[in-house]
C-alpha cells in the first residue's frame, strides 16, 4: 500500500466544479445559487485546512474563493447546499475564440520564421523517464522532484514506494503550475493524485481565467478519472496525464524554444525532463533484466520485498508485455522490469499508454521506438553513452585526480 495524502482539496475542487457546471460568470438571477456553492466550497476547504498546510493547490483554492466571493458580492454567512447550475450560454466570455494572436504560439512566435521544433518528455511506471533529448532512464527519485521548470510553467511529481520496504517507486502526485502570461492566461494550478484526476484546475475553472485569451489554456477530460489532456496553445504545449491502476503517468509535447526559456541557466539542469535523473538515482534495469533472464527469477531493486500480488517469472512477464507491446524496445523492457519488480499488471498498461502518448506527441516518427539504454546526460553529469564504466572512471581520475583520493 502506497502512502496517500490526507489533504482532500481535490475533492473540494471537484464538488465545486460539479455544482457550478464549470462557470463563474452567471447572470444576476443565479448569483445567490453561485454564492451558496462558494460557501460550500469554502466550508470544504476549511475542513481540510489542517492536513493541507504547504499544499499549493489548497492555498490557490483558498485565495480563489476569497476573490470569487468579492466579485459576486457573496456573504460568508448563509446556506451551503450545492445546487446544480446551468452551463454557459453560447458566446460567453469563457468560450471566446477571438483570442489575441499572441495567445497562439505558432501564429505569434513564428510569424516570420521556420516552424517550431517540438520535443517530448514522458514519465511512467517504476518510474521510467524519456527526456526532451530522447534519453531513456529508469530512476528511483523517491519523494518530490521537478520535471519541468521554465519561464512559462512548472511541473513537479511525487513518487512513493510501490511496496513496503522497497525502493521501487511510482508517481502518486502531480502538480502543474501555468504562470500568468500577458493578456492570455492567469496563473493556474493543476493537481492530481492517486484516485483523484480532476478535469479542472485547482480553482474549479477549465481554462485560463478572465483574460481575453483565456481559451488558449484548456483542460479536456478524455476518460473520466483516467485520462485528461491540457492544451496550452499560447506556448504550443500539450500535456497528457493518466491514472493507470493507482499511479499517474505524464507526457508532454513542447517547443524547443519553450523548453529552453529559462532566466537562470545555472539552475536549468535541475529538472528531470531536460537533463534526466541524477546519476545516483539511476537504475540499470537492463543489467538486472539480463540477470533475471539468466537466473530465471525476479530480482527486485533494493531490499528484499514481500511476495508480490502476482509472481511473474521472466518468461511470463515477457509474454504478458508482448500482448500490448509487440516491439521489443525499451518500453517493452520497462514493462518486463516493472512486472518483475511489482507483480502489478497495471504497469504493463502504463508502458503501453506511455508509448501511445509518444506516438501522438513525438514530432519525429522515426524516433518512436528506443532500443539502446541511454544514460548520457549533460557534460559533467555522467559518462557519455557507450563509454565503458571502467574507462570512464579512469578518464575521470586522469583529468581530476582529486576524485581518486576521496
For the cut 90, the answer to whether the pLDDT of residue 325 exceeds it is yes
The pLDDT score that the predictor gives to residue 305 is: 39
For the cut 80, the answer to whether the pLDDT of residue 320 exceeds it is yes
* More confident of the two residues 248 and 261: 248
Instruction: Please give the Cα distance from 260 to 387 (Å, whole number).
Output: 27
The pLDDT score that the predictor gives to residue 111 is: 56
Of 16-30, 80-94, 131-145, minimum mean pLDDT range: 80-94
Count of positions (residues) in the chain: 406
Instruction: Please give the Cα distance from 89 to 93 (Å, whole number).
Output: 10
Calculate helix-pair angle for 330-342, 346-361, nearest 10 degrees. Answer: 160
| Average of per-residue pLDDT values in the chain | 77
Of 60-74, 343-357, 377-391, minimum mean pLDDT range: 377-391
Instruction: Please give the Cα distance from 296 to 293 (Å, whole number).
Output: 5
The pLDDT score that the predictor gives to residue 264 is: 66
How many whole angstroms from its chain centre is CA 402? 40
Q: Measured between alpha carbons, how far is residue 344 from residues 309, 334, 354 in Å?
A: 7, 13, 16
The pLDDT score that the predictor gives to residue 174 is: 96
Instruction: Please give the Cα distance from 303 to 305 (Å, whole number).
Output: 6
For the cut 80, the answer to whether the pLDDT of residue 193 exceeds it is yes
DSSP state of 83: P
Instruction: Please give the Cα distance from 153 to 139 (Å, whole number).
Output: 23
CB half-sphere exposure, 314, CA atoms < 13 A:
15
What topology does CATH give the domain 102-275?
Protein Transport Mog1p; Chain A (3.40.1000)
> What's the N-to-C CA distance of the chain in angstroms?
40
Q: Which three cell numbers stand for residue 86?
A: 446551468
Confirm if 85 and 26 have CB atoms less than 8 A apart: yes
Interval 263-292 mean pLDDT: 73
Confirm if 106 and 115 have CB atoms less than 8 A apart: yes
Which of 144, 176, 177 has its CA nearest to residue 158? 144
Find the angle CA(341)-CA(157)-CA(342) to the nearest 5 degrees. 10
Q: Which residues pair with 174 in a beta bridge?
A: 157, 192
Instruction: Please give the Cα distance from 225 to 196 (Å, whole number).
Output: 7
Q: How confident is the model at residue 116 (pLDDT cuts 50, 70, 90)?
A: confident
How many whole angstroms from its chain centre is CA 76? 35
* More confident of the two residues 41 and 197: 197
Share of residues in the chain with pLDDT > 70 (%): 72
The pLDDT score that the predictor gives to residue 127 is: 93
Instruction: Please give the Cα distance from 143 to 161 (Å, whole number).
Output: 9
The pLDDT score that the predictor gives to residue 92 is: 36
Of 6-15, 180-189, 355-364, 386-395, minimum mean pLDDT range: 386-395
The pLDDT score that the predictor gives to residue 29 is: 40
Interval 73-79 mean pLDDT: 79
**Alpha helix stretches (DSSP H) within 256-400:** 256-259, 272-275, 285-295, 314-324, 330-342, 346-361, 389-399
Of 70-79, 93-102, 330-339, minimum mean pLDDT range: 93-102
Of 128-132, 141-145, 282-286, minimum mean pLDDT range: 282-286
Instruction: Please give the Cα distance from 242 to 250 (Å, whole number).
Output: 7
* More confident of the two residues 215 and 310: 215
Instruction: Please give the Cα distance from 290 to 337 (Å, whole number).
Output: 10
pLDDT digits (tens, 9 = 90+) for 209-257: 988 899 999 999 999 999 999 999 999 999 999 999 999 999 999 999 8
Q: How confident is the model at residue 333 (pLDDT cuts 50, 70, 90)?
A: very high
Share of residues in the chain with pLDDT > 90 (%): 43
The pLDDT score that the predictor gives to residue 118 is: 93
Confirm if 272 and 147 have CB atoms less than 8 A apart: yes
The pLDDT score that the predictor gives to residue 13 is: 78
Burial of 393 (0-12, 13-18, 19+ CB in 10 A): middle
Amino acid at each position: 500500500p502506497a502512502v496517500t495524502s490526507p489533504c482532500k482539496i481535490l475533492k473540494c475542487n471537484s464538488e465545486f466544479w460539479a455544482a457550478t457546471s464549470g462557470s463563474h460568470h452567471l447572470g444576476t438571477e443565479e448569483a445567490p445559487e453561485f454564492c451558496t456553492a462558494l460557501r460550500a466550497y469554502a466550508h470544504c476547504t476549511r475542513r481540510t485546512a489542517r492536513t493541507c498546510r504547504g499544499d499549493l493547490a489548497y492555498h490557490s483554492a483558498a485565495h480563489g474563493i476569497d476573490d470569487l466571493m468579492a466579485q459576486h458580492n457573496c456573504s460568508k454567512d448563509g446556506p451551503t447546499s450545492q445546487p446544480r447550475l446551468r452551463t454557459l450560454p453560447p458566446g460567453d466570455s469563457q468560450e471566446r475564440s477571438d483570442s489575441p494572436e499572441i495567445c497562439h504560439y505558432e501564429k505569434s512566435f513564428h510569424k516570420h520564421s521556420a516552424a517550431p521544433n517540438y520535443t517530448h518528455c514522458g514519465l511512467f511506471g517504476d518510474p521510467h523517464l524519456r527526456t526532451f533529448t530522447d534519453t531513456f532512464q529508469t530512476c528511483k527519485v523517491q519523494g518530490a522532484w521537478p520535471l519541468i521548470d521554465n519561464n512559462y510553467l512548472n511541473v513537479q511529481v511525487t513518487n512513493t514506494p510501490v511496496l513496503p520496504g522497497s525502493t521501487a517507486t511510482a508517481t502518486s502526485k502531480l502538480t502543474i503550475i501555468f504562470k500568468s502570461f500577458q493578456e492570455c492566461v492567469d496563473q493556474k494550478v493543476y493537481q492530481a493524485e492517486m484516485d483523484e484526476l480532476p478535469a479542472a484546475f485547482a480553482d474549479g475553472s477549465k481554462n485560463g481565467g478572465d483574460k481575453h485569451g483565456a481559451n488558449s489554456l484548456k483542460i479536456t477530460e478524455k476518460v473520466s478519472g483516467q485520462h485528461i489532456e491540457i492544451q496550452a496553445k499560447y506556448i504550443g504545449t500539450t500535456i497528457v496525464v493518466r491514472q493507470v491502476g493507482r499511479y499517474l503517468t505524464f507526457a508532454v509535447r513542447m517547443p524547443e524554444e519553450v523548453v529552453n526559456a529559462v532566466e537562470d541557466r545555472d539552475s536549468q539542469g535541475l529538472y528531470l525532463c531536460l537533463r534526466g535523473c541524477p546519476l545516483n538515482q539511476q537504475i540499470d534495469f537492463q543489467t538486472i533484466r539480463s540477470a533475471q533472464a539468466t537466473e530465471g527469477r525476479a530480482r527486485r531493486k533494493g531490499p528484499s520485498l514481500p511476495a508480490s500480488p502476482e509472481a511473474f517469472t521472466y518468461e511470463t512477464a515477457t509474454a504478458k508485455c508482448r500482448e500490448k507491446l509487440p516491439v521489443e524496445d525499451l518500453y517493452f523492457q520497462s514493462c518486463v522490469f516493472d512486472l518483475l519488480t511489482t507483480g502489478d499488471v497495471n504497469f504493463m498498461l502504463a508502458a503501453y499508454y506511455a508509448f501511445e502518448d509518444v506516438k501522438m506527441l513525438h514530432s519525429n516518427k522515426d524516433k518512436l521506438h528506443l532500443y539502446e539504454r541511454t544514460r548520457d546526460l549533460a557534460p559533467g553529469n555522467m559518462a557519455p553513452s557507450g563509454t565503458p564504466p571502467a574507462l570512464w572512471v579512469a578518464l575521470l581520475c586522469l583529468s581530476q585526480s582529486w576524485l581518486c583520493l576521496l
